[in-house]
Protein backbone atom coordinates (compact mmCIF):
# COMPACT_ATOMS: atom_id res chain seq x y z
CA UNK A 1 0.00 0.00 0.00
CA UNK A 2 2.87 2.40 0.77
CA UNK A 3 4.26 2.07 -2.77
CA UNK A 4 0.88 3.05 -4.23
CA UNK A 5 0.75 6.16 -2.04
CA UNK A 6 4.31 7.13 -3.09
CA UNK A 7 3.44 6.69 -6.77
CA UNK A 8 0.41 8.94 -6.43
CA UNK A 9 2.36 11.56 -4.48
CA UNK A 10 5.04 11.65 -7.17
CA UNK A 11 2.55 12.98 -9.75
CA UNK A 12 1.17 15.76 -7.56
CA UNK A 13 4.27 18.00 -7.32
CA UNK A 14 4.98 17.65 -11.06
CA UNK A 15 8.68 17.08 -10.51
CA UNK A 16 11.34 16.28 -13.11
CA UNK A 17 11.44 19.71 -14.72
CA UNK A 18 7.66 19.87 -15.06
CA UNK A 19 5.49 22.67 -13.85
CA UNK A 20 1.76 22.98 -13.64
CA UNK A 21 1.99 25.45 -16.54
CA UNK A 22 3.62 22.80 -18.75
CA UNK A 23 0.97 20.20 -17.88
CA UNK A 24 -1.95 22.58 -18.40
CA UNK A 25 -0.62 24.04 -21.63
CA UNK A 26 0.14 20.58 -23.03
CA UNK A 27 -3.37 19.48 -22.10
CA UNK A 28 -4.90 22.58 -23.71
CA UNK A 29 -2.91 22.12 -26.93
CA UNK A 30 -3.78 18.43 -27.13
CA UNK A 31 -7.47 19.07 -26.46
CA UNK A 32 -7.64 21.82 -29.11
CA UNK A 33 -5.93 19.49 -31.57
CA UNK A 34 -8.38 16.73 -30.64
CA UNK A 35 -11.31 19.12 -31.22
CA UNK A 36 -9.95 20.22 -34.60
CA UNK A 37 -9.38 16.67 -35.78
CA UNK A 38 -12.61 15.16 -34.47
CA UNK A 39 -15.04 17.98 -35.19
CA UNK A 40 -17.63 16.48 -32.83
CA UNK A 41 -19.19 18.52 -30.04
CA UNK A 42 -21.34 15.83 -28.42
CA UNK A 43 -21.06 15.69 -24.61
CA UNK A 44 -19.99 12.04 -24.55
CA UNK A 45 -17.25 12.57 -27.12
CA UNK A 46 -16.03 15.76 -25.45
CA UNK A 47 -15.82 13.86 -22.15
CA UNK A 48 -13.87 11.05 -23.80
CA UNK A 49 -11.56 13.65 -25.33
CA UNK A 50 -10.87 15.19 -21.92
CA UNK A 51 -10.16 11.75 -20.46
CA UNK A 52 -7.87 10.87 -23.38
CA UNK A 53 -5.93 14.13 -23.06
CA UNK A 54 -5.58 13.71 -19.28
CA UNK A 55 -4.28 10.17 -19.83
CA UNK A 56 -1.73 11.33 -22.43
CA UNK A 57 -0.50 14.16 -20.17
CA UNK A 58 -0.18 11.67 -17.29
CA UNK A 59 1.77 9.22 -19.51
CA UNK A 60 4.02 12.04 -20.75
CA UNK A 61 4.70 13.02 -17.14
CA UNK A 62 5.46 9.44 -16.11
CA UNK A 63 7.86 9.05 -19.05
CA UNK A 64 9.39 12.47 -18.29
CA UNK A 65 9.38 13.41 -21.98
CA UNK A 66 8.15 16.99 -21.70
CA UNK A 67 10.32 19.71 -20.20
CA UNK A 68 10.92 23.43 -20.75
CA UNK A 69 12.85 22.64 -23.95
CA UNK A 70 10.52 19.98 -25.34
CA UNK A 71 7.43 22.03 -24.53
CA UNK A 72 8.74 25.61 -24.48
CA UNK A 73 5.87 27.56 -22.94
CA UNK A 74 8.25 30.51 -22.46
CA UNK A 75 8.35 30.97 -26.27
CA UNK A 76 4.59 31.16 -26.79
CA UNK A 77 4.11 34.93 -27.08
CA UNK A 78 7.26 35.51 -29.12
CA UNK A 79 6.39 32.54 -31.36
CA UNK A 80 3.06 34.18 -32.20
CA UNK A 81 5.07 37.08 -33.62
CA UNK A 82 7.65 34.85 -35.36
CA UNK A 83 5.24 32.49 -37.18
CA UNK A 84 3.52 35.15 -39.33
CA UNK A 85 6.92 36.47 -40.41
CA UNK A 86 8.06 32.91 -41.25
CA UNK A 87 4.87 32.24 -43.23
CA UNK A 88 5.49 35.39 -45.31
CA UNK A 89 9.09 34.26 -45.91
CA UNK A 90 7.86 30.81 -46.99
CA UNK A 91 5.41 32.40 -49.46
CA UNK A 92 8.12 34.70 -50.88
CA UNK A 93 10.51 31.75 -51.24
CA UNK A 94 7.77 29.69 -52.95
CA UNK A 95 7.32 32.46 -55.51
CA UNK A 96 11.10 32.71 -56.00
CA UNK A 97 11.52 28.94 -56.54
CA UNK A 98 8.45 28.71 -58.80
CA UNK A 99 9.78 31.63 -60.84
CA UNK A 100 13.17 29.92 -61.17
CA UNK A 101 11.49 26.76 -62.46
CA UNK A 102 8.98 28.44 -64.82
CA UNK A 103 11.41 30.82 -66.53
CA UNK A 104 12.86 29.57 -69.78
CA UNK A 105 16.32 30.50 -68.58
CA UNK A 106 16.72 28.47 -65.43
CA UNK A 107 18.08 30.75 -62.72
CA UNK A 108 18.75 27.77 -60.50
CA UNK A 109 22.23 28.07 -59.07
CA UNK A 110 22.61 25.38 -56.38
CA UNK A 111 25.22 25.99 -53.72
CA UNK A 112 26.22 24.79 -50.29
CA UNK A 113 26.81 27.60 -47.81
CA UNK A 114 27.70 27.93 -44.16
CA UNK A 115 25.68 30.32 -42.03
CA UNK A 116 26.47 31.35 -38.49
CA UNK A 117 23.92 30.47 -35.83
CA UNK A 118 23.91 32.94 -32.94
CA UNK A 119 21.35 31.04 -30.86
CA UNK A 120 22.45 30.13 -27.33
CA UNK A 121 20.52 26.88 -26.95
CA UNK A 122 20.15 23.70 -28.96
CA UNK A 123 16.41 24.41 -29.15
CA UNK A 124 17.11 27.79 -30.75
CA UNK A 125 19.47 26.21 -33.28
CA UNK A 126 16.89 23.54 -34.12
CA UNK A 127 14.20 26.20 -34.62
CA UNK A 128 16.60 28.10 -36.91
CA UNK A 129 17.57 24.96 -38.87
CA UNK A 130 13.92 23.91 -39.25
CA UNK A 131 12.95 27.42 -40.35
CA UNK A 132 15.64 27.23 -43.04
CA UNK A 133 14.35 23.84 -44.21
CA UNK A 134 10.72 24.99 -44.19
CA UNK A 135 11.63 27.83 -46.54
CA UNK A 136 11.47 26.48 -50.11
CA UNK A 137 14.79 26.47 -51.93
CA UNK A 138 16.87 25.83 -48.81
CA UNK A 139 17.61 22.65 -46.87
CA UNK A 140 19.65 22.34 -43.69
CA UNK A 141 22.29 19.67 -44.19
CA UNK A 142 24.13 19.75 -40.87
CA UNK A 143 24.52 21.69 -37.65
CA UNK A 144 28.02 21.90 -36.18
CA UNK A 145 28.23 23.97 -32.98
CA UNK A 146 27.42 27.48 -34.21
CA UNK A 147 27.61 26.78 -37.96
CA UNK A 148 24.69 25.52 -40.05
CA UNK A 149 25.48 24.01 -43.43
CA UNK A 150 22.71 24.72 -45.94
CA UNK A 151 21.99 23.70 -49.52
CA UNK A 152 20.46 26.66 -51.36
CA UNK A 153 18.74 26.18 -54.73
CA UNK A 154 19.06 29.78 -55.91
CA UNK A 155 21.45 32.65 -55.39
CA UNK A 156 18.61 34.73 -53.85
CA UNK A 157 17.91 32.01 -51.26
CA UNK A 158 21.60 31.94 -50.30
CA UNK A 159 21.76 35.75 -50.09
CA UNK A 160 18.63 35.88 -47.93
CA UNK A 161 20.20 33.46 -45.45
CA UNK A 162 23.56 35.21 -45.45
CA UNK A 163 21.84 38.51 -44.63
CA UNK A 164 21.22 37.09 -41.14
CA UNK A 165 17.62 38.31 -40.81
CA UNK A 166 16.21 34.87 -39.98
CA UNK A 167 19.08 34.22 -37.55
CA UNK A 168 18.39 37.49 -35.68
CA UNK A 169 14.67 36.75 -35.47
CA UNK A 170 15.20 33.23 -34.11
CA UNK A 171 17.74 34.56 -31.60
CA UNK A 172 15.14 37.12 -30.45
CA UNK A 173 12.53 34.32 -30.30
CA UNK A 174 14.64 32.21 -27.96
CA UNK A 175 15.54 35.08 -25.61
CA UNK A 176 15.88 33.44 -22.24
CA UNK A 177 13.20 33.88 -19.60
CA UNK A 178 14.31 35.04 -16.17
CA UNK A 179 16.00 32.26 -14.18
CA UNK A 180 13.09 32.00 -11.73
CA UNK A 181 10.79 30.92 -14.60
CA UNK A 182 12.98 27.96 -15.57
CA UNK A 183 12.48 24.66 -13.76
CA UNK A 184 15.41 23.42 -11.68
CA UNK A 185 17.80 21.09 -13.52
CA UNK A 186 17.36 17.36 -13.07
CA UNK A 187 19.86 15.49 -10.93
CA UNK A 188 22.06 12.87 -12.67
CA UNK A 189 19.92 10.03 -13.97
CA UNK A 190 16.94 12.32 -14.56
CA UNK A 191 14.93 11.13 -11.54
CA UNK A 192 13.57 13.33 -8.79
CA UNK A 193 13.19 12.12 -5.26
Q: Write the pLDDT tens digit of every residue in 140-179.
A: 999 998 899 999 998 888 999 999 999 999 998 887 654 4
Say which residue, 35 or 100, is predicted with more confidence.
35
pLDDT band at 21; cut points 50, 70, 90: confident
- How much is the mean pLDDT over the chain? 79
Query: Which of these ranges, 82-86, 120-124, 159-163, has the smallest mean pLDDT?
Result: 120-124
pLDDT at 114 over 90: yes
pTM of the predicted protein model: 0.63
What does DSSP assign to residue 113?
A: E
* Phi, psi at 144, each rounded to 5°: -130, 100
Report the C-alpha gap between 28 and 55 in whole angstroms. 13
For residues 76-101, one letter each, b for 16 or more C-beta atoms within 10 angstroms of the residue's C-beta and e for the rest, the string is eeeeeebeeebeebeeebeebbeebe
pLDDT at 113 over 90: yes
Distance of CA 136 to the CA centre of its chain: 19
Residue percentage of the chain with pLDDT more than 70 = 74
pLDDT at 4 over 70: no
Distance of CA 53 to the CA centre of its chain: 20
Write the pLDDT tens digit of every residue in 38-69.
888 899 999 999 999 999 988 888 887 766 55
For range 106-131, the mean pLDDT: 89
Amino acid sequence: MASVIRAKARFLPLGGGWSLLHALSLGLVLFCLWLLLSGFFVTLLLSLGVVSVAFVVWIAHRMDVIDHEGHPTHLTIRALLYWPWLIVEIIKANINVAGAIVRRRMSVNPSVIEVKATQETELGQVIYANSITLTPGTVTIDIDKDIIIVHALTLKAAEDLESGDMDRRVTALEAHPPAEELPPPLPPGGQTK
